[in-house]
Amino acid sequence: MSNPSCQQTVVVKNEKGLHLRPAELVARLAMQFDSTVMVTKDDQSADCKNMLSVLTLGAVQGTQLGLSAEGSDAAEALSAVAELFDQGFHELDSE
């Protein structure tokens, strides 16, 4: 039996892009789930549980990224991480 998987496209909404603080938020959130959550920009993929790996994507405001999750709680993990992107990493109100 294979693990459930799902995918979604998200956009970096906050002005400063995917910098250190958002990358940490993504990693902390992703680590709460058993599933593997990956974020992809063009042909480069990063494990969402690895903050430094997420930072290497260099995603600026307006960048479209692919999210994918695979594992027993893939849908929940993908939804949670996508919501964090949608909320602009809680930085939209302070900009």
Catalytic: 90?
no
The C-alpha atoms of residue 95 and residue 30 are separated, in whole angstroms, by: 25
Angle at 7 between CA 6 and CA 10, to 5 degrees: 145
19, 40, 75, 80: the active-site residue:
19
Closest-CA residue to 89 (of 56, 59, 47): 59
Tell me the catalytic residues: 19
